[in-house]
Amino acid sequence: MDENTLKLLVKLTQEGQLSCLEKRITLGGSAAVQTISRKHFGRSGDTLLHYAARLGHLEVVEFLIKRVGVDVEVYNNDYKRPLHEAASMSHRACVSYLLREGAKVDSLKKADWTPLMMACTRRHLDVIQELLRHGADPALRNKDGWNSFHIACREGDPLVIQHLLLAAPDVWRTESKTRRTPLHTAAMHGCEEVVKLLLERCGYTPDSTDSCGVTPFMDAVRNGHIPVARLLLDKHQASPTAADILGAQPVHQVAVTGQEEALWFLVRDLKVDVNQKATDIELTALHYAAKEGHTSTIKTLLDLGADLHVRDKKGRTALHMACIGQHADAAGTLLQLGLKDSEDASGATARQLAKKPDVVRVFECGSPDAS
């Protein structure tokens, strides 16, 4: 077959035009059928069966398997089988047919993802149920240590979570390779109903930490998910002042991500000390916000009572940190608020730490926009 004919076959497959596809392949005789049964296309190495399964063209899938003889377990360059494609795109009819034809329910693609994991990236419970009925194992983990339950918790569908717990009651007892639990995942993504379900149905210990010392509460507040954070406080006795392995507390982490509503929540509602220092090098929330260049967050912290002149273990002010991060707007704001340049413990001034022209210009002209 020439290149143009092959491209046409791909197009007909993607469009689900079975009669035209069948006619084209049949015209080529047995040689054409044999070629198509083994042909991989493009950089991905997909076959026509991959295309058909991905797009949910069941009749084309049946034709390619029964009449053309494409192997139901054929894989592309990422080791994705047609079942991965159908499951990831929530095509239940194709999933059911491929399984009946002998597709392995727990086949692994690149990075050790199973079809069930792919299905859990969507919210189609019927596909997940079909895979589970055929023996899919929700406890299998991919190369990052995530199982299907982790993935479902990220997507946040309570019905999927409930069904996975019914199918495998201990599936929640899992950690990724960085020791993150499904509760971390749900909290990070703000999945309030799922977090509530996990706290009711699973036995997570309060303030469980990942390999960086991050708790689910930290994940919630630093991503601005205040209702989830409240839920963890009320139902799970989470600590608003727990520290990660660098000594950073939620107030510091929220300053890094610039979540100002979360700052008000921590300082005004929970009475967290806005000037609390992280234990590693005694950085405050103001230091972190300045280093990240969050000008609005700097102002919010000052409204909450942050000390403009506080220094870290190396004698650096927030102005030093803004210059280390090369943030002209933040440096200009701090100067306008009355913070003077000064030397740190090593004798370096903030101005000496400024490398980018617009940051240097702040000290020359007093404003990042000045000419």
* In the chain, where the domains are located: 1-137, 138-175+182-200, 243-371
- For 86, the token pair is 């159908």
What integer pLDDT is reported at residue 371 of this predicted model?
36
The residues, any chain, with a CB within 8 Å of residue 53's CB and separated by 6 or more, are 61, 82, 83, 85, 86, 91, 94, 98
Q: How far apart are CA 297 and CA 40, in angstroms?
A: 53
- For 246, the token pair is 């660098």
Same fold yes or no, 1-137 and 243-371:
yes
pLDDT in tens, 9-66: 999 999 999 999 999 998 888 988 999 999 999 999 999 999 999 999 999 999 999 9
First to last CA, the chain: 66
What integer pLDDT is reported at residue 1 of this predicted model?
74
What integer pLDDT is reported at residue 53 of this predicted model?
98
- For 351, the token pair is 């101005």
- For 2, the token pair is 């020439």
Q: What angle do CA 189, 191, 193 make, to 5 degrees?
A: 170
Provide the pLDDT confidence category of residue 335 given band limits of 50, 70 and 90.
very high
Residue 93 has pLDDT above 70, yes or no: yes
Is the distance from CB of 252 to CB of 285 less than 8 angstroms? yes
What integer pLDDT is reported at residue 32 of this predicted model?
87
The residues, any chain, with a CB within 8 Å of residue 132's CB and separated by 6 or more, are 116, 138, 163, 167
CATH code for residues 243-371:
1.25.40.20
CATH code for residues 1-137:
1.25.40.20
What integer pLDDT is reported at residue 366 of this predicted model?
57
Per-residue pLDDT, averaged over 204-232, amounts to: 97
pLDDT in tens, 135-164: 999 999 999 999 999 999 999 999 999 999
